[in-house]
Structure 1
Amino acid sequence: MSKATRATKMLEQAGVAFTVHSYDYDPGADKVGLQAAEALGEPPQRVLKTLMALVDGKPVCVIVPSDCEVSMKKLAAAFSGKSAQMMKPPEAERLSGYKVGGISPFGQMRRIPTALEQQALTHELVYLNGGQRGLQLRLSPQDVVTTLNATVAPVVA
């Protein structure tokens, strides 16, 4: 597995401090984020999952703790929209440039608006996908906000 991805390159170029953590990705896992948390020995609130969604038909990225579900109503509100829905996997892969299970909010094919669940800011460090299955990056949630120019909002159900 390569430890250099578009995600790690973006963080390096931005001068963000992060560490890389590999784990055995289980393609059969029901919940990839929870499987990552367990494999890393971390609480699921600190291992964040990156999801691709549509708000009023426009693509957005949403980052939430791996043990939480996104509230479509709250997600729409975070972007001043009327409605939200999850993006279909093939569209998420095409837009992000990453495979489902390895979608990182960093280094996507193009910049899209991103929302970070506000609970993430209560942790000193969080984990996010590094751009491939089985690769997590540990960094400050404030660096996530700054690097992605993310909106911080309550977006979980």
Structure 2
Amino acid sequence: MTPAINAAKRARVQYSVHQYEHNPNCDSYGAEAAEKMGQDPLQVFKTLIVSLDSGKFAVGIVPVASQLDLKGMAVACGAKKVMMADQGDAARITGYLPGGISPLGQKKRLLTVLDKSAESFDTIYVSAGRRGLEIELKPSDLLELTAGQWGAIAKSYSG
């Protein structure tokens, strides 16, 4: 059990856990999760940690098929500017290793924003706290468990 799974269990929300064999040579963790689980990459979400101009940190949750829109994230957080947090800071703050950062069960509660695209799904997948482990739950339950909010924070990959 991970802290993420324990948080869902304690809250008594409906969830299911999905496990797959993580390839240690893969560096696109979210895309790997969607592919190995045979799920739509718009329904599998990645958890990203950003640093706000106030010095605080926040969590952005976007589909693995998208990028985090830093301007949209800044607006959602009421900040002038945000930037991606250093991986070492993200691990220290959340208690999870990069590629396995879950929005659930983090060491301390951070401002959390879930991309509005999640509203179109009955359930979504997010990391359950380690590479190769995903938790499926309702977007509304995720927001309730994280005291999160909706935001327009995803943009399509360009190029």
The residue aligned with 1:96 is 94
Q: How does 1:1-150 map to 2 (within 5 A)?
A: 4-56=1-53, 57-150=55-148
CA distance in 2, matches of 1:62, 1:27: 24
SS at match of 1:77: helix
Deviation per CA, 1:43-72: give whole Å up to 9, x if none: 001110001111212100110000100111
CA distance in 1, matches of 2:16, 2:98: 22
Contact 2:29 2:131 in 1 (8 A): no
Richer in strand (by share): 2
Aligned alpha-carbon RMSD (Å): 0.9
CA distance in 2, matches of 1:79, 1:100: 22
TM-score by length of 1: 0.95
**2:71 aligned partner, one-letter code:** K
Contact 1:26 1:32 in 2 (8 A): no
5+ residue gaps, structure 2, are none
Percent of residue pairs bearing the same amino acid type: 34
**1:148 aligned partner, one-letter code:** T
CA distance in 1, matches of 2:23, 2:153: 27
SS at match of 1:110: coil
CA distance in 2, matches of 1:26, 1:72: 29
Q: What is the Cα deviation at residue 112 of structure 1?
A: 0.6
**2:76 aligned partner, one-letter code:** A
Deviation per CA, 1:105-130: give whole Å up to 9, x if none: 10100011100000011101110100
Contact 1:50 1:104 in 2 (8 A): yes
CA distance in 1, matches of 2:11, 2:115: 22
**2:6 aligned partner, one-letter code:** K
Contact 2:71 2:82 in 1 (8 A): yes
**2:26 aligned partner, one-letter code:** A
5+ residue gaps, structure 1, are none
Contact 2:47 2:60 in 1 (8 A): yes
